[in-house]
Structure 1
Amino acid sequence: MNNCRHLIRLYSRPLLLPSIWKRAKGYKVVKRPDPKTLKMPSLADAPSLMDIIKEKIRLNGPLTVAEYMHIVITNPTEGYYMKKDVISEAGDFITSPEISQMFGEILALWFYSETSKMGTGKPLQIVELGPGNGTLMIDFLRVLNRLNYKPNDLSLHLVEISSTMQLVQANRLCAKHNECDIESPYNREGQTVSGIKIYWYNDLKKVPLNFSWYIAHEFFDVLPIHKFEHTENGWRELLIDMDENQKLYYRISGEETPSAKLLIRPPLQADRTELEISPRALGIARQLAERVDVHGGLVLIADYGHEGEKGDTFRAFHKHKVVHPLENPGQSDLTADVDFSQLRIAASKTPGVDNYAIVMGPVKQKEFLERMQAKVRLEMLLKNMQSDEQKEKLKAAFSMLVDPQKMGERFKFMAFYPSAMTEILDKHPPVGFADLSK
């Protein structure tokens, strides 16, 4: 009994450890760097894209096409869109707004016409995804000025990941502009000569949620895609590997990849042997649809694409010519035709609380422009031209836009409307998408 009391007293005492057992601090105070003072590495010190790709393959194995596109397009120092202005006759490709002012003017009139079915459309946000050289917005603003939109009636919000392209756009659109603090939701802000405010963002999610016109012209075709082929063992992903000569090549995955398990779902794979799927494109389409459904506005997508009938469209352009996409990464524009059938699935309204959007189209560019009276606009411009040379150039530009062998059928248009507009669109069919001549 005495022993028990002795043990209880012993274990009730505070435990005194020898000084050599005293625990020292297990951490070191490190001052966090100020983001405002951080700078990009110099171009001279930056590794080449090929070195980056080689190292990733060495460490992690073959790349998906989506990973490859992401590296080539968005690398901060060596990415294709990060280094230079690539949209011009001297660059790798040219877009419809650069071909003729008619294109941007007609798109602006389409937005104005369809907005009149909703109300005044003021105040208005114009949001462009991938604004290129800013030419489309210049044409938009010219039309809106004639339609009596004042500087306080609208603002421009441009989604652009490339600081180089942001500067190109700002120099064309603004009387003054400046970079913004890293804590700001926008990277750059500016103002036109007339006083219209312009903001640049690197992500659509940062754009304010207000009534907006959303325009995505040749935007979806550059978003990274996963490529799949249907084999006797099921769907397998096309990967990019490196051979013994340090040259990139395609290979088929031996097993079903996580991307195949996650992305290939009915009805995407019906009666198809090849698939190209962009999770980023599907996410942005759904985001745009939700924005217009909840906050009001319109979405217009213009891109070259198809309705699910194509499987292998991944390619590259250099100096206006098609080149192999795995050669000289970073020197060519990587692109894939937009699968509009997938955008429709992602954006269409569904039963229940989340209705998302009414989806119209796709329709061929030729049909859309002609239904928007592009020929009438052409005749007006021709009457105001003095020289035969100017007239021939304008006719050639118009032909480029509508000729089925050129852009007329390859490029297509799709629109998103708020789900609440069902009855209105039944009474007043969407201009450009419905054939009103019948």
Structure 2
Amino acid sequence: MTPLSDLIAGLISGQGPLTIADYMALALGHPQHGYYMKQVPFGEQGDFITAPEISQMFGELIGLWCADTWTRMGSPPEIALVELGPGRGTLMQDVLRAATALPAFADAVEVHFVETSPVLTGEQRARVPNATWHASVATLPEKPLLLIANEFFDALPIRQFQRTERGWHERCVTLIPQESGGYDFGLQLSPEALANTSMLPLGVLDAPQGAVAEICPAGEAIAETLGNHLARFGGAALTIDYGHGQSAPGDTLQAVRGHDYADPFADPGEADLTAHVDFASLAQAFAKGGAKVWPLTTQGAFLTMLGITERAKRLSAKANPAQARDIKSALERLTAPKEMGTLFKVLTITAPNMAAPAGFDAA
């Protein structure tokens, strides 16, 4: 057992079972023992690898998309370039390098990071020293923004509900006593059925008994706030994550440790916890804030539209054989249907009256 296990067990013993959202918030964000608060989880030596760590091509193409979108906005003299959950700063570093292809855009940009981890803030500061840091989206500057959220919404706390013959009951984390005298964490249903099911997506309400529904109140609140910001001050946003395009029942909570799946309820604080993004609910939240939501696409289609195949060819032409193999492997990993190409989706959001972003010119 870890110190965080003991802390969570004490909370459950004192006040009863925790919602999964409360459990995730502690496991990931506890100031001392939370997963993201005490380590750098990315890369081969960490627990998982994100797209920016796979290849510079990812960030460079996002950077060119930002520069192109800035031009379509009318080239405002000042714009906030924002990243939510910027990891080690690798993505923004690549974005800014690509931005130098359009010097006027590079001059207009001021970088803002939304980050809560002191460890990761240190990594980001080493790569992007002139950024401004925020604890939440609420303090972003009141000006047009270009926002990137890559694998951000999947790590926000979710709530789960399970349908029984008496209705929808919340799934909660409780203590399971062991014969040895210790305990494990496990799930139990709240005794009272959910009185108001309006918080659940319409697509799950007719699910059969035993089905599990997930919602992400934190993600929807952030999306609505950003939608309002875009509506008031202008700009555009990209949300890139793994998930499903339509709301549907299913238990997608998972833990990753050492590049392999783990038990989400074993050793909290020692593994990454995530859940699939419900892009339909997320899009509704952005729209509720006043922004325009463009049709969902896959990461593979989006990167191909931006020219990743051509970029890989140009890089390979200057590479040695080993480097060329790495470039080919990265291209496949980012775009192939059996890799990240279709599981990962891209949701594009803009100010309501903004010109169509790249890829939607004919929409």
- When normalised by structure 2's length, the TM-score is 0.93
Q: 1:80-138 CA deviation, whole Å, 9 max, x = no partner?
A: 00101111111000100010111011111122223322201321211110000100111
Report how far residue 238 of structure 1 moved: 0.8
| 1:256 matched residue in structure 2 | 193
- Looking at structure 1, the residues matched to 88 and 137 of structure 2 have their Cα atoms a distance apart, in angstroms, of 19
Equivalent pair of 1:371/1:435 in contact (CA under 8 Å): no
Q: Which runs of 5+ in 2 are unaligned?
A: none
| 2:314 matched residue in structure 1 | 380
| 1:431 matched residue in structure 2 | 358
Which 4+ runs in 1 deviate beyond 6 A? none
| 2:220 matched residue in structure 1 | 282
- Look up the SS of the partner of 2:146 in the other structure: strand
| 1:324 matched residue in structure 2 | 263
Size of the aligned set, in residue pairs, is 354
Paired AA for residue 193 in structure 2: E
Residues 1:168 and 2:123 are matched in the alignment: yes
| 2:31 matched residue in structure 1 | 76
- Looking at structure 2, the residues matched to 79 and 415 of structure 1 have their Cα atoms a distance apart, in angstroms, of 31
- Looking at structure 1, the residues matched to 7 and 361 of structure 2 have their Cα atoms a distance apart, in angstroms, of 49
Report how far residue 153 of structure 1 moved: 2.1
Paired AA for residue 277 in structure 1: I
- Look up the SS of the partner of 2:204 in the other structure: coil
Equivalent pair of 1:367/1:432 in contact (CA under 8 Å): no
| 1:24 matched residue in structure 2 | none
Report how far residue 376 of structure 1 moved: 1.0
- Looking at structure 1, the residues matched to 278 and 121 of structure 2 have their Cα atoms a distance apart, in angstroms, of 28
- Looking at structure 1, the residues matched to 300 and 201 of structure 2 have their Cα atoms a distance apart, in angstroms, of 31
| 1:34 matched residue in structure 2 | none
Residues 1:159 and 2:114 are matched in the alignment: yes
Report how far residue 232 of structure 1 moved: 1.0
- Look up the SS of the partner of 1:407 in the other structure: coil
Deviates more, 1:321-330 or 1:103-112: 103-112
| 2:229 matched residue in structure 1 | 291
Paired AA for residue 192 in structure 2: E
- Looking at structure 1, the residues matched to 108 and 352 of structure 2 have their Cα atoms a distance apart, in angstroms, of 25
Q: Which runs of 5+ in 1 are unaligned?
A: 1-46, 175-190, 192-197
Residues 1:217 and 2:150 are matched in the alignment: yes
| 1:135 matched residue in structure 2 | 90
Larger RCO: 1 or 2 (CA < 8 Å, sep 6+): 2
| 2:241 matched residue in structure 1 | 303
Change (3 A) 1:135 1:310: farther
Equivalent pair of 1:108/1:144 in contact (CA under 8 Å): yes
- Looking at structure 2, the residues matched to 310 and 111 of structure 1 have their Cα atoms a distance apart, in angstroms, of 35
Identity of aligned residues (%): 36
Alignment of 1:11-90 (within 5 A): 48-90=3-45
Equivalent pair of 2:67/2:105 in contact (CA under 8 Å): no
Change (3 A) 1:111 1:80: same
| 1:19 matched residue in structure 2 | none
| 1:342 matched residue in structure 2 | 281
- Looking at structure 2, the residues matched to 319 and 329 of structure 1 have their Cα atoms a distance apart, in angstroms, of 14
Change (3 A) 1:60 1:333: same
- Looking at structure 1, the residues matched to 188 and 224 of structure 2 have their Cα atoms a distance apart, in angstroms, of 32
| 1:32 matched residue in structure 2 | none
- Looking at structure 2, the residues matched to 383 and 266 of structure 1 have their Cα atoms a distance apart, in angstroms, of 49
- Residue 174 (structure 2) aligned to one of 229, 236, 241: 241
Equivalent pair of 1:365/1:411 in contact (CA under 8 Å): yes
Report how far residue 216 of structure 1 moved: 0.5
- Looking at structure 1, the residues matched to 144 and 203 of structure 2 have their Cα atoms a distance apart, in angstroms, of 32
Equivalent pair of 1:268/1:342 in contact (CA under 8 Å): no
Q: 1:350-384 CA deviation, whole Å, 9 max, x = no partner?
A: xxxx7x11101321111111111211111111112
- Looking at structure 2, the residues matched to 240 and 105 of structure 1 have their Cα atoms a distance apart, in angstroms, of 42
Equivalent pair of 2:337/2:343 in contact (CA under 8 Å): yes
Change (3 A) 1:434 1:239: farther
Report how far residue 224 of structure 1 moved: 0.2
Change (3 A) 1:172 1:114: closer
| 1:4 matched residue in structure 2 | none
- Looking at structure 2, the residues matched to 432 and 274 of structure 1 have their Cα atoms a distance apart, in angstroms, of 35
- Looking at structure 2, the residues matched to 418 and 151 of structure 1 have their Cα atoms a distance apart, in angstroms, of 21
Equivalent pair of 1:105/1:140 in contact (CA under 8 Å): yes
Report how far residue 150 of structure 1 moved: 6.9
- Looking at structure 1, the residues matched to 345 and 152 of structure 2 have their Cα atoms a distance apart, in angstroms, of 13
Equivalent pair of 1:66/1:224 in contact (CA under 8 Å): yes
| 1:25 matched residue in structure 2 | none
- Looking at structure 2, the residues matched to 416 and 53 of structure 1 have their Cα atoms a distance apart, in angstroms, of 38
Change (3 A) 1:262 1:231: closer
Q: 1:272-316 CA deviation, whole Å, 9 max, x = no partner?
A: 332110110000011111111110110110000102235211010
- Looking at structure 2, the residues matched to 344 and 270 of structure 1 have their Cα atoms a distance apart, in angstroms, of 19
- Looking at structure 2, the residues matched to 287 and 115 of structure 1 have their Cα atoms a distance apart, in angstroms, of 21
Report how far residue 209 of structure 1 moved: 1.4
- Looking at structure 2, the residues matched to 363 and 433 of structure 1 have their Cα atoms a distance apart, in angstroms, of 11
- When normalised by structure 1's length, the TM-score is 0.77
Alignment RMSD: 1.8
Report how far residue 78 of structure 1 moved: 0.5
